[in-house]
Structure 1
Amino acid sequence: MQLWICPVLAFLLGSIPFGLFIARLKGIDIRAHGSGNIGATNVLRVVGKQYGITCLFLDLLKGYIPIVIAINLIQIDGKAIVPHLGFLDGLAMHLPVEKQFTGQLVHVITALCAVLGHNYSPWVGFKGGKGIATSGGVLLGLMPAAVVLLILVWIILFVTTRYVSIASIGAAAALPVLTHIGARFHKNADGISLWEAGTWNKPLFFFSLTIGLLAIWKHRTNIQRLREGTEHRFSRNNTKESS
C-alpha cells in the first residue's frame, strides 16, 4: 500500500490551488490577472505581498509534507529519517540496503507527483503554476543542503538581473549539477564517495534533472519575452514581473 498511496497523496496535495483560493478571498480570479498563473509570484504581484508570501509558504508545504510522509512510510535500513514522524512507524515498510533503489524510486516518484499536481491541477482544468515553490518543498525534504545553495543561486541571479524568471530558470538549471556534485562529495563509512562506490541516489539525480527541465519548460513564455526584450523587471515601484 505504501508504494502507491504516497504518490497518490502527493498528487492530491500538490493539486490544491492555494493561489486561486487566496486571491478569491480578495474577490479576484487570479487566472484573469497578470500572467494568469496561480503561483505565488502572480499572487504577490496582483493581490499583494502578504498574500504572495502566504501562497509561497503553502505551495512549499504541498511538496514538503508528502515527501516527509513518504520517507517515514518507506524506510531504508541504516538511513537517517529527518524529520522522524514516530506515529507512522507502525505503518512503515522497512527495506534492506540492497533494495534501497526501490525506496529511493518511490520517494522521487512521490516528489514528482507533488510537482505535477501543482503544475497540472485537475481542479483548474489541468493548469497550474510553474512548480518552483512546490519543487523547493520536495527538495527540502529530500536534499535540504542543496536547497540552501539553490536559494543562493536564485538570490544572486535575481539581485543582478531583477528578473524573477531568470533567477528561477537559473536555479532550475543548477539543480541537477548540484545533485551530481553531492553524489561525488558525499562519502560512505569506508571513506569512498557514493559516486565511486556506485551507491549514489540515481532516482534523485534523474528526478532533479526532470523537474529542472520541467521548470524551464514552464518558463518558455518568459524565455520568449526575454528574447524579445519585453519581459518586465521586478522593482519596488513596479511589480509587473510576468512569471
Structure 2
Amino acid sequence: MQLWICPILAFLLGSIPFGLIIARMKGIDIRAHGSGNIGATNVLRIVGKKYGITCLFLDLLKGYIPMVIAINLIQIDGKAIVPHLGFLDSLAMELPASEQFKGQLVHVVTALCAILGHNYSPWVGFKGGKGIATSAGVVLGLMPFAVILLIAVWGLLFLITRYVSVASIGAAAALPVLTHVGARFHKNDAGVSLWEADTWNKPLFFFSVVIAALAIWKHRTNIRRLMDGTEHRFTPKSKA
C-alpha cells in the first residue's frame, strides 16, 4: 500500500492551489492579473507581501509534508528518520539495504508527484505555478543541506540581477550539480564515498535533473521576456 499511496497523496496535496485561494479571499482572481500565475511571486506582486509570503510557505509545505510522510512510511535499512512521525510506525515498511533502489525510487516519484500536482493542478484546469517553492519543499525533505546552498545561489543571483526568474532558473540548474557533488563527498560508515562504493542515490540524481528541466521549462515565457527586455524586475522602493 505504501508504494502507491505516497505518490497519490503527494499529487493531491501538491494540487491545492493556495495562491488562487489566498487571492480569492481578497476578491481577486490571480489568474487575471500580472503574469497570470498562481504562484507566490505573482501573489506577492498583486495581493501583497504578507499574502505572497504565506503562499510561499504553504506551497513549500505541499512538497515537504508528502516527503516526510513517504520517508517515514518507506524506510531503508532501518535508518533513523528525521523528523520522525511516531504515529506512522505501525504502517511503516522497512526495506533491507538490498532493496535500497526501490525505496529511493518511491521517494523520488512521490517528490515528483507533489511538484506535478502544483504545476498541473486538476482544480485549475491542469494549470498551476512554476513549482519552485514546492520543489524546495521536496528537496528540503530529501536533502536538507542542499536547500541551504540553493537558497544561497538564489539569493546571490537575485541580488545581482533583481530578477526572480533568473534566480529561480539558476537555483534549478544548480540542483543536479549539488546532487552529484554530494554523492562524491558523502561517505558511508566505512569512510568510502557513496560514488566510489556505487551506493549513491541514483533515483535522486535523475529526479534532480528532471525537476531542474521542468522548472526551466515552466520559466520559458520569462526567458522570452528576458530576451525581449520586458521581464519584471524588482527594484527597491525609494524612501520619501
TM-score range, shorter chain: over 0.9
Match of 2:12 in 1: 12
Separation in 1, partners of 2:3, 2:88: 15
Match of 2:118 in 1: 118
Match of 2:147 in 1: 147
TM-score (structure 1 length as normaliser): 0.97
Separation in 2, partners of 1:120, 1:22: 18
SS in structure 1 opposite 2:195? helix
Cα-Cα RMSD:
0.9
After superposing on structure 2, the runs of 4+ consecutive aligned residues of structure 1 that deviate more than 6 Å are: none
Separation in 2, partners of 1:80, 1:30: 42
Q: Is the 8 A contact 2:78 2:94 kept in 1?
A: no
Give 1:190 deviation, angstroms.
1.1
Structure 1 residues 186 and 78, CA gap change in structure 2 (3 angstroms): farther
Give 1:237 deviation, angstroms.
3.4
Separation in 2, partners of 1:121, 1:59: 13
SS in structure 2 opposite 1:19? helix
Unpaired runs of 5+ in structure 1?
Answer: 239-243
Letter in 1 for 2:202: K
Separation in 1, partners of 2:221, 2:79: 41
Unpaired runs of 5+ in structure 2?
Answer: none
Q: How many pairs are equivalent?
A: 238
Letter in 2 for 1:106: V
Match of 1:229 in 2: 229
Separation in 2, partners of 1:127, 1:235: 29
Match of 1:158 in 2: 158
Match of 2:197 in 1: 197
Match of 2:216 in 1: 216
Letter in 1 for 2:33: H
* Equivalent residue runs for 1:128-143 within 5 Å: 128-143=128-143
Separation in 1, partners of 2:117, 2:236: 32
Match of 2:59 in 1: 59
Letter in 1 for 2:40: A
Match of 1:24 in 2: 24
Match of 1:42 in 2: 42
Give 1:78 deviation, angstroms.
4.1
